Amino acid sequence: MIQSIERAMLVINILAKHPKRFFTVQEIFNETDLPTSTIYRLLYTLESFDLVERNENKKEFRLGYTWLQLGMKMYHETDIREKAHPLLENLAYNVRETIYLSIAKQFASIIIDRIDSPKNVRIIDMIGEKIPYPIGAPNKVLLAFSKSDVQQQFFQQLEEPEKEKLVESLNDVREKGFAISVGEKTKGTVSIAAPIFDSNKQTIAAISAECFEYDTDAEKLESITQEVLKTAQQLSFELGYI
């Protein structure tokens, strides 16, 4: 990788931890160990493209609004999201819970769409949030139905007891066709997820519903699971899966 790009990405990733907050050069230095002269040069270059915004008074920096423009452009031009969105809205209406659409990215999932629950008290994970494998039902679905070489690469990172437990869990997910997790990402919540397949029979996304554990009995869990499965199957069909 070109060194200047690699260094710029180090700085951007620091700023992205808290997009609304201004960072001092010293704070960036503490996390990157880059020379302060290099940090200033990178920040001023990024600022020239509106990728970084500067607080003139305190010489502090944060992400610029160009990232929002780029993100929204990608958000609106994602084909699967366009096809999925009305189905997600219908699912949220039927189950009255928050609904997510997630895709796989380097042993993690990224939320690319969300429909909020109509309830006053709801669970909200941010669009664009990256959640590492195997935390949560969507990740278990994406991993369980991924190609064997992807699974093997991920398993190599795990110790044997953890690997055995996960393999057993993923086998169960494949057999049932869905995954349920309790309190894995957020304590006190339940997540139900099902895979989305394309015309090549590849898993390209996961639909999930998230609800509060205290408000979810066995009957409600079964009802939500069936609705999630039905929506996932419908979206897969619209994407050419037979």
Give the pLDDT confidence of 109-163 residue by residue, as tens digits: 999 999 999 888 878 888 888 899 999 999 999 999 998 888 999 988 888 888 8
Q: What pLDDT, on the 0 to 100 scale, is given for residue 72?
A: 62
Mean pLDDT of 41-67: 85
**What is the average pLDDT across 14-43?**
87
What percent of the chain lies above the pLDDT cut of 70?
A: 96
Lowest mean pLDDT of 42-51, 64-73, 156-165, 192-201, name the range. Answer: 64-73
The model's confidence at residue 20, banded by pLDDT at 50, 70 and 90, is confident
| Contact call for residues 49 and 38 (beta carbons, < 8 A) | no
Could you tell me which residues come within 8 angstroms of residue 146 by beta carbon, excluding any fewer than 6 positions away?
104, 203
Query: Which residue segments constitute the domains of the chain, with CATH numbers given?
Result: 3-68 (1.10.10.10), 78-238 (3.30.450.40)
Average pLDDT, rounded, for the chain: 88
Please report the pLDDT score of residue 77 as a whole number. Answer: 45
As a whole number of angstroms, the distance between CA 123 and CA 58 comes to: 36
Secondary structure tally for the chain: helices H, strands E: 9, 8
Determine what percent of the chain is predicted with pLDDT higher than 90: 47
Omega before residue 134 within 30° of 0, cis: yes
Cα–Cα separations (whole angstroms), residue 204 to 129, 195, 207, 230: 17, 8, 10, 17
Residue 166 has pLDDT above 70, yes or no: yes
Burial profile 51-68: b = 16 or more Cβ within 10 angstroms, e = fewer: bbbbeeeeebbbbbeebe
DSSP string, 49-102: TTSEEEETTTTEEEE-THHHHHHHHHHHH-HHHHHHHHHHHHHHHHH-SEEEEE
Residues 32 and 201: their CA atoms lie apart, in Å, by: 42
pLDDT at 5 over 50: yes
CA 212 to chain centre: 19
**pTM metric for this prediction:** 0.70
